[in-house]
Amino acid sequence: MYDIVPVHCIHEKDTKSGVHYYKWLRELPGLRGSTSKTLRMRTPSSQCDPRDSAIWTPSTDLKRTCAMSAFMRHLEAHGVGPLHDYSELHSWGVAHPEILWRELAIFLGLKGTGSLEPVWGATRGLTPLARDWFPQFTLNFAENLLVGDDDAQAIISWSESSLRREFSLRDIRRTSIAIALHLRSLGVQSGDRVFAYLPNIPEAAICMLGAASIGATWSSCGTDYQIDGLEARASRVQPSVLIATRRYQWRGTEVSTLETITRLIERVPSIQHVILVDYLPRPDEINSLSCGKVSVSSYEQIISRQSASFQYPRFAFIHPLYIMFSSGTTGTPKGIVHSAGGTLLEHRKEHSLHSDIRPGDRLFYQTSTSWMMWNWLVSGLASQATIVMYDGDPLLENGEILWRMADQERVTHFGTSAAFLGAIEKQGVKPRGRFPLTDLRAILSTGSTLYPSQFDYISESIKPLWIQSISGGTDIIGCFGLGCPLKPVHRGEVQAKSLGYDVCVYNSARQRVVGEEGELICANPVPSMPACFLDDPNGENYRGAYFSEYGDVWRHGDFLEETSNGGLLFLGRSDATLKPAGVRVATADIYAALQSINEIHQALAVGYVPPGSVSEKIVLFVVLANNIVLNPPLAAKIKECLRSSNAFFVPALIVEAPGVPRTTNNKLSELSVKRILKGEDPGNRSALANPEVLDFYLTEGRARVLREL
């Protein structure tokens, strides 16, 4: 199997069993601690990596009928090819971006006015890869999402109490137009900003569509954010309109937001109007919000009005649609402005071609309105899919509520995170024995690395199906790597590079490599790269975020390996990579190895250089299952488990912790803990879903490390 093997290891064979293995030589003369070189090596076939065998292979029918194949036939009909497989298609697309993106826009049926020629204009943008995409073409984002038959199911929504609501496309059109007309009556114009504080409910999608209908720019936060995090974002957006819920449910409790809304209005003076949404109706409270001179409207009253006729105005391809925020764990969150055309074209490509989402399919993603996967989910309407929303704790009913929902609503594409899958696996949840999930064709997972063992869990305990491990980011409002209906799924791998993206891996010498770990690079322009950053008129912050390291190519900050079959292994943030004895270790590899230890509920590994030392040591913080304590036998078990994967994975210290810091997108915040151990400020607390857990690391956790290392 694949392993990170230091050069001072030797290959041996057990003469009795015939098993090949690597032996760690601690005292090899001349090499001890003298090199940081690692080799990616493969053991003989008797111990081959499970990734060498596909765990899912597309059927002949899927390969024949999928949109990816139809697009290849479209290209051939227009003189391109023939292209025989996805590898050839991807290579051709990278070499001919102007033809690729034009033909994608035509094939996917973007609705607009004007010409798709030229694909980009002569004007260069703020970064080396910026382009003025489709300068002669105008469109309306909402109009492109609201396509299809009036009676088609557009949105199905569940809440914690299994309250089910259903909205037809006619309903969504009518109500979003009512919101658009109301915003216009408030003086909102094209380019003005609307900020939302809403849970993952249909009203959030309807209000976004209403804002986009008139060219307003949308930004949103979920109810998982508290006042400081809300203010940090809203104060930078400078919205004239705030759309917020009066209350929401969490774990069976109704939580009022009126005090939070009042404080937000006080702190962000640009807010002139408030629209209050009450999906848990108590209409008598409309006047309980005291906002001074700010006008207050009721969402329910707005949508009850008779809608006037409405013509969708069309705007430039690069018109600002969304303001998104990065996690902010390394400092002030980046305020990223995404264009309507770039978002639409990228999401249509990812949904139809990569994910094989077809008209009539049912797309679910477990998300909040704070996360870009919410925007990605809503764009599923453009593929004429029904989008399925859930508002509440996903671990209710002993971790089964989402699977019951998926079964009853005939979900075809179930989107979630590796963290959720890990949590239900630890709880022993096995949906396969409880729910038929007859219509489910694919499971998508993002937010953090999907470990090889989790592929096994999905196949064995949920359903053997197409596993789409996807990875990208808020930065591109899409994916660098994701599924492909023409390729097999290999255990632990992201299937394919995104069509049109020249994704590659740079080693320390800035060379493209395959089979080695390095930095994730995107070397060509794509439409969904940010239009700009907030408060960055000259693009200095934008260039500094992605182009400061290599100049002319996008460095994303992820640690990556490209496999020989064209798959991708995402290994965590490169700025959180560990270097014990100078050897580069990906934290994702450590977490993957720990998956087999049931006593560990969560883990976080960071590097620490003790005072007076030049060598980094690994500190492993573990959150244990109920009634488990970190005693010497368990510590020895953890170390032996890691040692069996790689000698460099073994931590110098294991510390039991009450929790690990995570962002609101459920990603580990290793850097905040690393900073604390160095005696620095942990950074932006408002970026975390559980900032209170940092108190342990600031006190007991750091004291333990200083004392013992």
**Model confidence over 96-143: pLDDT tens digits?**
999 999 999 999 999 999 999 999 998 888 999 999 999 999 999 999
Angle at 219 between CA 217 and CA 222, to 5 degrees: 155
Chain centre to alpha carbon of residue 578: 23
For the residues 303-314, what does the mean pLDDT come to?
A: 88
Average per-residue pLDDT for the chain: 88
Q: Is the pLDDT of residue 13 over 50?
A: no
Pairing of strands 247-250, 315-316: unpaired
- What confidence category does residue 362 fall into, taking pLDDT thresholds of 50, 70 and 90? very high
For the residues 684-708, what does the mean pLDDT come to?
A: 89
For the residues 235-250, what does the mean pLDDT come to?
A: 94
**Per-residue confidence (pLDDT) for residue 582, from 0 to 100:** 62
Q: In one letter, which amino acid is 179?
A: I
- Which residues lie across from 561 on neighbouring strands? 517, 569
**Model confidence over 476-508: pLDDT tens digits?**
999 999 999 999 999 999 999 999 999 999 998
**Model confidence over 462-471: pLDDT tens digits?**
999 999 999 9
Residue 430 neighbours by CB under 8 Å, 6+ apart:
461, 462
- Superfamily grouping for domain 577-708: ANL, C-terminal domain (3.30.300.30)
Q: 658 near 693, Cβ under 8 Å? A: yes
Coil, helix or strand at residue 51: helix
For the residues 59-72, what does the mean pLDDT come to?
A: 97
**Per-residue confidence (pLDDT) for residue 612, from 0 to 100:** 76
Residue recorded with tokens 């848990």: 280
For the residues 291-314, what does the mean pLDDT come to?
A: 88
For the residues 62-77, what does the mean pLDDT come to?
A: 97
For the residues 391-406, what does the mean pLDDT come to?
A: 95
Domain segments of the chain: what residues? 3-48, 577-708
Q: 476 near 339, Cβ under 8 Å? A: no
Q: 414 near 406, Cβ under 8 Å? A: yes
**Model confidence over 167-222: pLDDT tens digits?**
999 999 999 999 999 999 999 999 999 999 999 999 999 999 999 999 999 999 99
- Which residues lie across from 522 on neighbouring strands? 503, 554
Q: Is the pLDDT of residue 27 over 70?
A: no
**Per-residue confidence (pLDDT) for residue 548, from 0 to 100:** 92
**Per-residue confidence (pLDDT) for residue 50, from 0 to 100:** 42
Coil, helix or strand at residue 394: coil
Chain centre to alpha carbon of residue 166: 26
- What confidence category does residue 668 fall into, taking pLDDT thresholds of 50, 70 and 90? confident
- What confidence category does residue 581 fall into, taking pLDDT thresholds of 50, 70 and 90? low
Residue 479 corresponds to which tokens in the numbers above?
């994916």
Nearest to 21 by CA among 34, 5, 40: 5
Residue 659 neighbours by CB under 8 Å, 6+ apart:
602, 623, 690, 693, 696
Count of CB atoms situated within 10 Å of the CB of 706: 13
- What confidence category does residue 232 fall into, taking pLDDT thresholds of 50, 70 and 90? confident
Q: 355 near 444, Cβ under 8 Å? A: yes
- Ranges assigned E (strand) in 485-567: 489-490, 496-497, 503-506, 517-522, 532-533, 554-562
Query: What percent of the chain shows pLDDT beyond 70?
Result: 89
Residue 667 neighbours by CB under 8 Å, 6+ apart:
327, 329, 447, 448
Residue 388 CA to residue 406 CA, distance in Å, equals 9
State the alpha helices, DSSP H only, in 409-516: 418-426, 452-457
**Per-residue confidence (pLDDT) for residue 20, from 0 to 100:** 32
Query: What percent of the chain shows pLDDT beyond 90?
Result: 69
Q: 582 near 36, Cβ under 8 Å? A: yes
Q: Is the pLDDT of residue 29 over 60?
A: no
Q: Is the pLDDT of residue 402 over 60?
A: yes
For the residues 309-325, what does the mean pLDDT come to?
A: 96
For the residues 631-641, what does the mean pLDDT come to?
A: 93
**Per-residue confidence (pLDDT) for residue 626, from 0 to 100:** 86
**Per-residue confidence (pLDDT) for residue 52, from 0 to 100:** 53
Q: In one letter, which amino acid is 483?
A: G
**Per-residue confidence (pLDDT) for residue 305, from 0 to 100:** 86
Name which residue leads in pLDDT, 553 or 288.
553
- Ranges assigned E (strand) in 309-430: 315-316, 320-325, 335-339, 362-365, 386-391, 413-417
Residue 686 neighbours by CB under 8 Å, 6+ apart:
225, 226, 228, 229, 232, 328
Count of residues making up the chain: 709
Residue recorded with tokens 């957006």: 237
- What confidence category does residue 24 fall into, taking pLDDT thresholds of 50, 70 and 90? very low
- What confidence category does residue 21 fall into, taking pLDDT thresholds of 50, 70 and 90? very low
Helix (H) or strand (E) run with residue 87 in it: helix 86-95
